[in-house]
Amino acid sequence: MLLYTHTSIYMHHNILIIIIQFLHHLGISNLMASIFLSSQCGLKPLAISSYINNPTTRVSVSSFPVSIKSSSSSLSNLSRRTIKASAPVLVQEDEKRVDDGFESGFNPGAPPPFTLADIRAAIPKHCWVKDPWRSMSYVLRDVVVVFGLAAVAAYFNNMVVWPLYWFAQGTMFWALFVLGHDCGHGSFSNNAKLNSVVGHLLHSSILVPYHGWRISHRTHHQNHGHVENDESWHPLSEKIYKSLDTATRLLRFTLPFPMLAFPLYLWGRSPGKKGSHFHPGSDLFRANEKTDVIISTVCWSAMVALLVGLSFVMGPLPVLKLYGIPYLVSYLPSRTFAYYTFTILD
């Protein structure tokens, strides 16, 4: 079978399964879906022979009409390996196709049948090249779109346009967040100062403290999926859940309040954890990171002051319609789902 990989694909297997099932329902076969993901995402397929619960339904690499070449000996050894569990897969069987990997023996708790070195080797070399000019072009493009959408909405100023604007602008606010996210990871460019300046401008514009979030996000990746130590994915134990007061339960698990989950998380983190993304003395940060946190908090405060100033100049309602509602919408598709579906563990 073919395994499409990037640095976090194993942790996000549901997304790939949903994509393949969606394409299948559109009448696109697994073969065509595989070719689409390969050509559009630019990812080399990693070949693995696997059992899907039952050895009689073995998937053969030879059954898939795609030439797979790799100079990595580890990949060659991996391709000859037989395993009982797999990461997200695009399956083309000789006789029978299995749509649901979970029902067919997929074990999400099993370790992935590959190493980080295998993943890196499967990713095309050009994906590792950091081009600051290209990165800045994305920033310029998105900023132009943001201001363009605001201008169009303000010009027409009617209730037919506003809902469309809120959805589109909320999506663009999230695009700004993603670019700032890449600055925090250092994938925006090789220049740390450029990453910091652009990251501050982008994240402050959507009321996210750049360094505070960047550092906590680093902790998240260092403890990805850990029930206790993960920073942004922190399921509640039954003990903590029962200790929550009524107001906290209402605000956390009753719509529409979870729409504010991410801003509240920035202020107070998850239940059971202390500190704030804005406070340099929080146990989130090391002693040598306090100055960075202060700088980000000052930038965030400057953005708040700008919005308050605009409210006096333009009026609070226009600012709410142009900025406030898109701000909330920007976190609805991802953050709301993540926080609203917190797992309660025994």
Host H or E run for residue 130: none
pLDDT averaged over every residue in the chain:
74
- Cα angle at 218 between 213 and 222, to 5 degrees? 145
The candidate with the shortest Cα–Cα distance to 268, out of 339, 317, 194, 195, is 339
pTM value?
0.64
- Among the listed ranges 61-75, 97-111, 224-238, which one has the minimum average pLDDT value? 61-75
Q: For the chain, how many helices (H) and strands (E)?
A: 15, 7
Strands 46-47 and 2-3: antiparallel
Q: Which residues pair with 2 in a beta bridge?
A: 47, 90
CA distances from 38 to 34, 78, 177 (A): 6, 20, 26
pLDDT at 30 over 60: no
Tokens of 85: 């569990």
Q: How far apart are CA 190 and CA 187, in angstroms?
A: 7
Question: Is the distance from CB of 183 to CB of 198 less than 8 angstroms?
Answer: yes
DSSP-derived letter for residue 112 is P
Q: Residue 70's pLDDT is what?
A: 39
Q: Residue 269's pLDDT is what?
A: 79
Q: How far apart are CA 345 and CA 195, in angstroms?
A: 38
Model confidence pLDDT, tens digit, residues 261-317? 788 788 887 766 788 999 998 888 999 999 999 999 999 999 999 999 999 999 999
Question: Is the distance from CB of 133 to CB of 191 less than 8 angstroms?
Answer: no
Domain ranges of the chain: 2-127, 130-345
Q: Residue 332's pLDDT is what?
A: 64
Q: Residue 1's pLDDT is what?
A: 37
The candidate with the shortest Cα–Cα distance to 164, out of 329, 335, 317, 342, is 329
- Among the listed ranges 15-24, 52-61, 217-226, which one has the minimum average pLDDT value? 52-61
Question: Is the distance from CB of 101 to CB of 68 less than 8 angstroms?
Answer: no
- 160: three-class secondary structure by DSSP: coil
Q: Residue 47's pLDDT is what?
A: 42
User: Greater confidence, 144 or 328?
Assistant: 144
Q: Is the peptide bond before 258 cis (omega within 30 degrees of 0)?
A: no
Q: How far apart are CA 204 and CA 44, in angstroms?
A: 36
Q: Residue 82's pLDDT is what?
A: 39
* Percentage of the residues of the chain whose pLDDT score is greater than 90: 39
